[in-house]
């Protein structure tokens, strides 16, 4: 159980920098890989399945292990888990950079996701152990600007790294950049992060963890592989088994002695509706980013750098609206999220219209910019609004589940929207038509999320 440190840790701001550095590694790794995916598939082979598994291979183990990893930190010590996670993430990044074949790369990405899941949940607990109560808002408040900066810089940095070809490295530089970041995080954690006090009596719910991981894989695997294999019967059965597995998982939590998810959350309609909104929104965002990258680097023939610059207006839109979104949500609550979803939907309509006959990335600028402005209104306040109806003892469990849902949504969104994209391109449709259709499917998903959002808590949690 974590407690706020009663006395200021003399190196607490250095500790915060170490935690933020780990956060930057994860955020950049997600965005830069999306831009580099077409170049990776072109070099190693494997086609569209590889571009999807580069994302899904990372987010599936991340989502499956995230909640359990927080418990592992409580049980064995957050500093220890942070060091294991940082070392493993750095080593897995090196394996990604050295991968000679698609299967090796996807396996290394899965290791990245697993170690990332061990690494990231420890940061918030370490901050609470290190900072006095009065400074916690200031410490946690720095996460927003860092995340915004990564959102803006990620696509451009990914394009530059993938296309730089320093010393013949090509796309491998996308993963090599994690080595100095990871080594800095490791060195800083060894020197400054306090050891804390592990809870040796805490029990771990291994069956629930295995079931959640299996259910996640059952949803994503057939979405990625099904189209290439002609949707065999087993893929459809797996796809149906995934949601059933999550239902069984939810029921299990009521009977487990140390559940991964607080059982009372399942009866909280505002929270469960919030999970649906978060799942749909983050799936739409991640999947659309990859489809845009495929369109720009495939039919339009842009380099990774050019694709990064063409996607940058969306990231810029997110950065412009994310700043005021948090303050607006404290005043107006869920209306800000609903307005953001509506603006995103408008941007997708513009994007679908602009994609028709597009011959360069700049034609997409109005649609990507407006879409980004809408997304920026949703991202910062979404979790605060969802958690507003959760009791204080359940906040830790509720936020952990939301983090896991966000990661799973990335894998589902990539699998789903790339399947829509390829359904058109593989059957004689033009790439412009495929992009327009993908944008419209994303729009339909967001309108469904908008309908569900009326059940969210009215105001944000402070």
In a domain, 313, yes or no: yes
In a domain, 217, yes or no: no
Shared domain check, 158 and 293: no
What domain count does the chain have?
A: 2
Could you report how far apart the first and last alpha carbons of the chain are, in Å? 22
- 8 A C-beta contact, residue 15 and residue 192: yes
Domain carrying residue 171: 1-191
Shared domain check, 265 and 137: no
Shared domain check, 297 and 430: yes
In a domain, 206, yes or no: no
Angle (nearest 5°) at CA 286 between 283 and 288: 100
Sign of the torsion formed by the C-alpha atoms of 53, 373, 438 and 455: positive
CATH of the domain at 401: 1.20.1250.20
Predicted TM-score of the model (pTM):
0.85
**Calpha distance 167→22 (Å, rounded):** 27
Average pLDDT, stretch 26-39? 81
Share of the chain above pLDDT 90, in %: 36
Shared domain check, 21 and 109: yes
In a domain, 222, yes or no: no
Shared domain check, 446 and 306: yes
In a domain, 208, yes or no: no
Angle (nearest 5°) at CA 155 between 65 and 70: 15
Could you please report the per-residue DSSP string of 278-340? HHHHHHHHHHHHHHHHHHHHTTT---HHHHHHHHHHHHHHHHHHHHHHHHHHHHHTHHHHHHH
Shared domain check, 419 and 289: yes
Give counts: helices (H), strands (E), the chain: 17, 0
**Calpha distance 57→45 (Å, rounded):** 16
User: How far is CA 452 from each of CA 266, 354, 416, rounded to the nearest angstrom?
Assistant: 16, 29, 20
Highest mean pLDDT among 22-26, 205-209, 246-250: 246-250
In a domain, 348, yes or no: yes
Last residue of a domain, one of 135, 170, 191: 191
Shared domain check, 265 and 155: no
- pLDDT per residue as tens digits for the range 406-441: 888 888 898 899 889 988 887 777 888 999 999 999
- 8 A C-beta contact, residue 72 and residue 204: yes
Shared domain check, 277 and 141: no
The structure tokens 């750095």 sit at 90
- pLDDT per residue as tens digits for the range 106-117: 999 999 999 998
- Copy the structure tokens of residue 304: 């990774």
Q: What is the mean pLDDT of the chain?
A: 87
In a domain, 183, yes or no: yes
Last residue of a domain, one of 152, 171, 191: 191
Shared domain check, 288 and 178: no
Question: 256-286 as b/e, with b when 16 or more CB fall inside 10 Å?
Answer: eeebbbbbbbeebebbebbbbbbbbbbbbbb
In a domain, 252, yes or no: no
Shared domain check, 271 and 184: no
Shared domain check, 267 and 183: no
Confidence of residue 39 (pLDDT cuts 50, 70, 90): confident
Closest CA to 353 of 441, 435, 446: 435
Closest CA to 278 of 193, 385, 362, 156: 385
Average pLDDT, stretch 342-368? 88
- pLDDT per residue as tens digits for the range 153-166: 777 787 888 777 77
Shared domain check, 441 and 312: yes
Last residue of a domain, one of 191, 211, 237: 191
């Amino acid at each position: 159980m974590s407690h706020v440190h009663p006395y200021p840790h003399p190196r607490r701001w250095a500790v915060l920098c170490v935690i933020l550095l780990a956060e930057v590694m994860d955020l950049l790794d997600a965005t830069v890989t999306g831009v580099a995916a077409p170049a990776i598939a072109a070099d190693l082979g494997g086609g569209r399945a590889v571009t999807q598994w580069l994302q899904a291979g990372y987010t599936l183990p991340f989502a499956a292990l995230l909640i359990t990893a927080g418990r592992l930190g409580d049980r064995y010590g957050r500093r220890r888990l942070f060091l294991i996670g940082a070392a493993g993430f750095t080593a897995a990044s090196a394996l990604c950079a050295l991968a000679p074949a698609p299967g090796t790369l996807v396996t290394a990405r899965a290791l990245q996701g697993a170690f990332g899941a061990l690494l990231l949940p420890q940061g918030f607990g370490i901050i609470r152990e290190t900072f006095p109560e009065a400074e916690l808002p200031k410490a946690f408040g720095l996460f927003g600007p860092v995340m915004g900066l990564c959102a803006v810089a990620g696509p451009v940095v990914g394009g530059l790294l993938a296309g730089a070809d320093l010393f013949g490295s090509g796309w491998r530089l996308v993963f090599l950049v994690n080595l100095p970041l990871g080594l800095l995080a490791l060195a800083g954690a060894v020197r400054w992060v306090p050891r804390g006090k592990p809870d040796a009596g805490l029990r771990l719910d291994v069956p629930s963890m295995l079931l959640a991981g299996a259910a996640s894989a059952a949803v994503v695997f057939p979405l990625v592989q099904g189209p290439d294999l002609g949707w065999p019967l087993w893929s459809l059965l797996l796809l149906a088994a995934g949601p059933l597995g999550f239902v069984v998982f939810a029921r299990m939590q009521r009977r487990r002695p140390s559940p991964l998810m607080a059982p009372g959350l399942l009866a909280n309609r505002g929270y469960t509706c919030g999970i649906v909104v978060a799942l749909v929104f983050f799936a739409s965002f991640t999947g659309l980013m990859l489809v845009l990258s495929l369109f720009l680097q495939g039919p339009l023939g842009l380099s990774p750098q050019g694709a990064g610059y063409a996607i940058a207006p969306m990231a810029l839109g997110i950065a412009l609206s994310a700043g005021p979104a948090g303050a607006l949500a404290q005043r107006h609550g869920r209306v800000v999220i609903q307005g953001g979803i509506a603006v995103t939907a408008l941007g997708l309509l513009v994007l679908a219209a602009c994609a028709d006959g597009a011959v360069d990335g700049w034609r997409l600028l109005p649609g990507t910019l407006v879409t980004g402005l809408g997304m920026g209104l949703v991202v910062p306040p979404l979790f605060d609004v969802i958690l507003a109806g959760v009791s204080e003892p359940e906040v830790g469990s509720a936020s952990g589940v939301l983090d896991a849902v966000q990661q799973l949504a990335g894998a589902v969104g990539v699998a789903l929207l790339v399947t829509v994209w390829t359904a058109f391109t593989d059957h004689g449709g033009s790439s412009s038509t495929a992009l327009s259709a993908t944008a419209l499917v994303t729009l339909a998903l967001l309108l469904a999320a908008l309908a569900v959002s009326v059940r969210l808590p009215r105001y944000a949690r402070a």
